[in-house]
Amino acid sequence: MELIALIVSIVALLVALWAARAVRTLLGATADTTVHRSGTRSSRRSRSRGRSKQPHFTFEQLSPHRYALRNDGHSPAYDVRVDTGELSVHEGSLSIDEFPPGYVEEYLLIQPLQSQVSQINVTWYTSRDALAEAHVTPFPLGPRPVENDVDPGTI
């Protein structure tokens, strides 16, 4: 009876290890596209083994006007600049000297009335060195939220 319990435990452990490895592989296979200041695009794949030591930014819409910029990479980004164009920025810093891994900066961004801004650009450097290459990562913005439920054709 103890032998059967031991075998079942070993099989359960092997299944759990296989599932954990499959999840790590799926999560580690995300692509990141960076536009360099020269206008060229480079794509890198992050894998669970041998991940790049560069910063990796994500920009998430939390609500109609609230966004979060996150460094999911394994190293800090330096001299981070957020170019919001004509957006009105009510919360969040547009210039950050050091953006450490795991750090999140939240923004409250309002679209202008006369036009629609479709993306923001985040410019960052991998070192404090003045000769370091600038990286520019564009992030699309979600559609303008509907302010009311009234159909203009019925007025």
* pLDDT, position 123: 94
98 token code pair: 């050091």
Distance (Å, whole) CA 114 – CA 93: 24
pLDDT of residue 26: 58
d(CA 70, CA 102): 7
**What is the DSSP code (8-state) at residue 126?**
S
* pLDDT at residue 153 in the model: 53
What domains are defined for the chain? 32-140 (2.60.40.1250)
Give the model's pLDDT for residue 44. 44
How many whole angstroms separate alpha carbon 118 and alpha carbon 109?
A: 12
DSSP string, 36-67: ETTS-EEEEE--SSS--SS--EEEEE-SSSEE
- The single-letter code of the amino acid at 71 is N
Q: In the chain, which stretches have pLDDT less than 70?
A: 22-52, 130, 143-155
Tell me the one-letter amino acid at 129.
D
> pLDDT per residue over 88-116, tens digit each?
999 999 999 999 999 999 999 988 888 88
CB atoms within 10 A of CB 62: 11
Using CA atoms, how far apart are residues 90 and 109, in angstroms rounded to an integer?
6
